[in-house]
Amino acid sequence: MNIKSPIEEVIEKLVVGTRVTISGVIYTARDAAHHRIIQALDRGEELPFDLKGQTLYYMGPSPARAGQVIGSAGPTTSSRMDKYTPKLLAAGIKATIGKGSRSIEVREAIKKYKAVYLVATGGAGALLARAIKEVEVIAYEELGAEAIRRLTVENFPAIVANDIYGEDLFEQGRAKYKKKNS
């Protein structure tokens, strides 16, 4: 399914297991950036970008080679952001992209705030970078690879792992494996 980011208009159609390609704007943020965003939210300060309806990609890029807009751009482990995610979803984030499963607290927040969690293929950073057409550091430049970047993407591939209905791709996969091997 081809979708445009921000994805809010199609969120009800994004069910677990759906393969998507995303075009539009997404933002990168990892541990240190999440911490700073949460601090700003707690203090009522202006944020580096409007969170409402946006997609966060848990990615720290490698330096771009000559002629490229970005280096390798693979996902990082999402569970590292779990302690921040419910508050960001409450503030308006509608999608996150990373790798690996999420905590029960995040899965409940995804359902409560009608958001989705998408997974991108780990180890495929060079391939994923091809979908990134423009990159701009918009906040926390001093964090280097963990700075917040605004990415313009075209046909960025991902799979819905958690949906607004409370389904979980990882749990489904484990159950299917267990049934097959029982």
pLDDT value of position 157: 97
Q: Give me the chain's average pLDDT, please.
A: 93
| Beta carbons within 10 angstroms of residue 143's beta carbon | 17
Residue 119 and residue 159 in contact, taking contact as beta carbons nearer than 8 Å? yes
Q: Residue 100 region, left (φ>0) first, then alpha (ψ -120 to 50), else beta? A: left
What is the arithmetic mean of pLDDT over 136-155? Answer: 95
pLDDT-derived band at 147, boundaries 50, 70, 90: very high
What is the arithmetic mean of pLDDT over 59-63? Answer: 86
Q: Structure tokens of 47?
A: 């944020």
pLDDT-derived band at 6, boundaries 50, 70, 90: confident
1-10, 70-79, 107-116, 173-182: lowest mean pLDDT where? 173-182
Domain of residue 42 covers 2-180
Residue 178 has pLDDT above 70, yes or no: no
pLDDT tens per residue, range 90-136: 999 999 999 999 999 999 999 999 999 999 988 788 889 999 999 99
Decide: pTM greater than 0.85. yes
Q: Residue length, the chain?
A: 182
Location of structure tokens 């911490």: 35
- Using alpha carbons, select from 62, 30, 57 the residue that is nearest to residue 158: 57
Q: Structure tokens of 182?
A: 């029982």
Instruction: Calculate ∠ Cα 104-52-129, nearest 5°.
Output: 80
What is the arithmetic mean of pLDDT over 40-52? Answer: 95
How far is Cα 79 from Cα 171, in angstroms, rounded to an integer?
15
Residue 6 and residue 24 in contact, taking contact as beta carbons nearer than 8 Å? yes
Domain count, the chain: 1
Percent of the chain with pLDDT over 70: 97
What is the arithmetic mean of pLDDT over 160-164? Answer: 97
- Read off the CATH number of the domain in which 27 is found: 3.20.130.10
What is the arithmetic mean of pLDDT over 165-173? Answer: 88
